[in-house]
């Protein structure tokens, strides 16, 4: 009788522990992929414009001139889940087949990447296309996808841009440039481009700025840094729940594995003082990347602040690298 009671108590304890773990896993999943400030930050376009023009004063006259000329256009595609996805594009002042796809970061939107749009459009004379990723800006979507499934949407945008800007036969010369989660997305894209079924000969190079090695690594660091918790068992649980809920998991979402497959040139940029995506991640990424590559560590810059802190050097380094492959 006593043994039966002990077994019953043990089973109750196990059930309670598993229930607690599941609840904590769902909390972590929601905290990471449905953050409370996503709608207020990413979908507030007016505030995004105000923020960017205040942080980068050079943007205001440029954006004003584009608005006056009605040069900023809005386009839409349908994602694989049937959701409507939006992008902004600006044609170069002088007709060209040189095009930049510019990918934003976590809880950002296309507007919040306009400083990189300025670099390519104003300074380098490229056509630019800036997507709102799934669940961000004006694009539909119920949760952040940390770049992994976003890479499929970005490849759709690349094909769209090739048709939009290609002259005369729908063939552009293209660079993909991302920051933070957008950089991870860019690296995830890079592993699929020109693989079987995804032949895109118009893509010439990539620029990634402060991207993480993998979603697992990034969340593990944040779990320890923000909550003082180890990866096991909470991160394993949240990753499993993500697989069940959204069809992908934290381990498979690896920029490191994708970069190792990329044969096209890539420029790696990272802030020396980045703690959100630790600077040491870029060395691992750079090491596994085959083929042409370059690395710049921006002195004393925090996460996603390299252009803000060093606009002239940032522009010069991007220009020198990209124009090797898209002259």
Domain boundaries, the chain: 1-33+217-248, 50-214+253-325
The stretch 175-200 carries a mean pLDDT of 95
Q: What is the average pLDDT score of the chain?
A: 94
Average pLDDT over residues 90-102: 96
**Helix intervals (H) in the chain:** 2-33, 38-42, 45-55, 59-68, 114-118, 150-165, 181-190, 215-227, 234-246, 255-259, 280-288, 306-309, 311-325
Question: So what's the pLDDT on residue 199?
Answer: 85
- Report residue 296 as tokens: 């710049």
Angle at which helix 215-227 crosses helix 2-33, to 10 degrees, equals 110
Beta carbons of 243 and 237 less than 8 angstroms apart: no
Asked if residues 259 and 191 have their Cβ atoms less than 8 Å apart, the reply is yes
- pLDDT at residue 19 in the model: 82
Residue 55's CB is within 10 A of a number of other CB atoms, namely 12
Strand partners, 87: 75, 131
Placement of tokens 């949240």 in the chain: 238
Q: For strand 266-271 and strand 84-90, is the pairing parallel, antiparallel, or unpaired?
A: unpaired
What's the average model confidence in pLDDT over 137-158? 97
- Residue 289 pLDDT grade (very low, low, confident, very high; cuts 50, 70, 90): very high
pLDDT (average), residues 244-266: 97
Q: Which fold does the domain 50-214+253-325 belong to in CATH? A: Rossmann fold (3.40.50)
Contact predicate 75/137, CB 8 Å: no
Tell me the pTM.
0.95
Q: What is the mean pLDDT of residues 183-209?
A: 94
Q: What pLDDT does 214 receive?
A: 98
Please give the backbone phi and psi of residue 12, each rounded to the nearest 5 degrees, phi first: -60, -40
């Amino acid at each position: 009788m006593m043994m039966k009671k002990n077994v019953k108590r043990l089973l109750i304890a196990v059930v309670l522990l598993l229930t607690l773990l599941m609840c904590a896993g769902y909390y972590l999943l929601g905290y990471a992929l449905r953050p409370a400030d996503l709608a207020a930050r990413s979908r507030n376009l007016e505030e995004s414009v105000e923020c960017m023009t205040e942080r980068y004063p050079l943007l205001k006259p440029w954006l004003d001139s584009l608005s006056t000329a009605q040069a900023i256009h809005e386009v839409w595609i349908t994602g694989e889940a049937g959701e409507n996805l939006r992008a902004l594009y600006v044609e170069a002042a002088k007709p060209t087949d040189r095009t930049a796809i510019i990918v934003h970061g976590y809880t950002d939107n296309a507007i919040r990447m306009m400083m990189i749009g300025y670099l390519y459009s104003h300074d380098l004379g490229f056509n630019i296309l800036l997507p709102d990723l799934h669940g961000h800006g004006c694009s539909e979507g119920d949760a952040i996808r940390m770049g992994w499934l976003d890479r499929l949407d970005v490849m759709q945008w690349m094909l769209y841009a090739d048709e939009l800007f290609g002259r005369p036969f729908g063939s552009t010369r293209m660079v993909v440039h991302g920051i933070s989660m957008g950089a991870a997305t860019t690296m995830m894209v890079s592993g699929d481009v020109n693989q079987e079924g995804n032949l895109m000969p118009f893509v010439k190079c990539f620029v990634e700025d402060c991207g993480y090695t993998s979603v697992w690594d990034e969340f593990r660091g944040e779990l320890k840094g923000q909550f003082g918790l180890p990866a096991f068992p909470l991160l394993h649980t949240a990753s499993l729940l993500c697989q069940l809920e959204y069809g992908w998991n934290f381990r498979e979402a690896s920029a490191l594995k994708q970069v190792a497959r990329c044969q096209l040139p890539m420029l790696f940029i990272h802030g020396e003082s980045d703690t959100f995506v630790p600077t040491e991640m870029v060395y691992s990424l750079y090491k596994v990347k085959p083929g042409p590559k370059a690395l710049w560590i921006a002195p004393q810059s925090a996460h996603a602040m390299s252009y803000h802190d060093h606009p002239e050097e940032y522009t010069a380094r991007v220009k020198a690298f990209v124009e090797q492959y898209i002259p």
